[in-house]
């Protein structure tokens, strides 16, 4: 999905859910990692995490956009746009998501995979560690190196 398609969908969703137009800009921001979206109070634009669409579906993206539109319309109406009871009631009325779903960071791949020789738990690490020095928290046994990616 492109930014233009997101802009068009947001304008449609804003008109349907709030009966008010969305007059500012919305776009995908790949730098967002821990949040679904962000509304900017100063210039009223909205950033959306593209993983909300890529990792999930259009219904999830709609819920995140409606959440940010609640912030947008409350702020422009002069109300407190943070997570107040008024915000939560509006969010529930329009069907937005209260929390964005957690996105597993698929791009984070561990270089080193270790397995405990006692309980068999596997752990991944970005840096190598000394298997003779460190022990498992569960059983106290030593680790062995399985693979280096």
- Catalytic positions: 68
71-78 contact pairs (CB < 8 A, 24+): 71/39, 72/22, 72/24, 72/39, 72/44, 72/46, 73/14, 73/18, 73/20, 75/39, 75/41, 75/44, 76/44
- With b meaning 16 or more CB within 10 Å and e meaning fewer, what string describes 132-145? eeeebeeeeebbee
């Amino acid at each position: 999905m492109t930014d233009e398609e997101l802009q068009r969908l947001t304008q449609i969703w804003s008109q349907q859910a709030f009966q008010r137009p969305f007059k500012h800009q919305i776009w995908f921001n790949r730098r967002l990692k821990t949040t679904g979206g962000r509304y900017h109070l100063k210039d009223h634009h909205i950033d959306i995490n593209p993983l909300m669409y890529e990792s999930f579906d259009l219904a999830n993206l709609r819920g995140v956009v409606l959440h940010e539109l609640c912030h947008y319309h409350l702020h422009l109406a002069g109300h407190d746009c943070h997570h107040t009871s008024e915000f939560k009631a509006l969010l529930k009325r329009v069907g937005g998501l209260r929390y964005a779903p957690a996105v597993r960071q698929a791009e984070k791949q561990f270089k080193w995979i270790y397995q405990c020789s006692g309980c068999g738990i596997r752990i991944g690490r970005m840096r190598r560690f000394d298997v003779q020095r460190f022990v498992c928290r569960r059983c106290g046994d030593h680790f062995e190196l399985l693979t280096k990616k």
